[in-house]
Amino acid sequence: MGGTFDPIHYGHLFAAEKARHALSLDRVIFVPAGAPPHKRYDVMAPAEDRYAMTLLAVNDNEAFDVSRIEIDRGGRSYTADTLEEMERIYADADFFFIVGVDTALDIPNWYRPDKIFSLCTVVAVARPGFLRDKIVELTPETRESLVVVDSTLMDVSATEIRNRVRDGLSANHLTPEAVCEYMRKKRLYSNMGES
């Protein structure tokens, strides 16, 4: 499961667990983006902080792990490159890339989308019926590499958390307490502008 995790929240954790159970996955590896090509770095928490918060969030789930692969590689964080590298590390594994359905629908516009779909099965986690009608617009090859897992996703976003922290409000019900404590300690998002 890739993402900026800026910060990670219960919606990410719930989606990962739902996909893990639905597809009988052995484990889910969270991969915080080092330098995502579609985000502004000047408004993001540093990669090391996003990695640390992800570790804290998954700490109590034995089926969850966190990888530094994109942070340590440096440069732009492209999913195709990450999957190629993970394929070398975990040579005997079958890969599933867990994302929200809206993100899954955008993958054909990403860097080397054919490589992404050839290296893994994309798992699109969605509320029942949410954007499913858009899936028929994808090419047949893309649809064949896509699995939709229906879920009652939690209505939470990283933007909401950042805004609450900026405004001095609690985010305890949106992300694990250990992540909230980390944000307080490091003063993450406290001085950011409107987003």
Q: What Rg value do the Cα atoms of the chain yield, rounded?
A: 16
Chain segment 109-132, per-residue pLDDT in tens: 999 999 999 999 999 888 655 666
Strand order, beta sheet including 2-3: 2-3, 28-32, 64-66
Q: How many domains does the chain contain in total? A: 1
CA–CA gap between residue 143 and residue 117 (Å, rounded): 10
Examine residue 60 and state whether it is found in any structural domain, yes or no. Answer: yes
Q: What is the dihedral of CA 177, 181, 186, 191, to 10 degrees?
A: 80
Q: Take residue 127 and report the two structure tokens written for it.
A: 């509320």
Examine residue 195 and state whether it is found in any structural domain, yes or no. Answer: no
Domain that holds residue 68: 2-186
Examine residue 48 and state whether it is found in any structural domain, yes or no. Answer: yes
pTM: 0.91
Examine residue 191 and state whether it is found in any structural domain, yes or no. Answer: no
Examine residue 139 and state whether it is found in any structural domain, yes or no. Answer: yes
Chain segment 27-74, per-residue pLDDT in tens: 999 999 998 887 665 678 999 999 999 999 999 999 999 999 999 998
Examine residue 166 and state whether it is found in any structural domain, yes or no. Answer: yes
The CATH number for 142's domain is 3.40.50.620
CB 1 within 8 A of CB 12: yes
Examine residue 192 and state whether it is found in any structural domain, yes or no. Answer: no
Chain segment 67-103, per-residue pLDDT in tens: 999 999 988 999 999 999 999 999 999 999 999 888 8
CB 126 within 8 A of CB 11: no
CB 172 within 8 A of CB 164: no
Examine residue 81 and state whether it is found in any structural domain, yes or no. Answer: yes
Question: Between 42 and 107, where is the model more confident?
Answer: 107
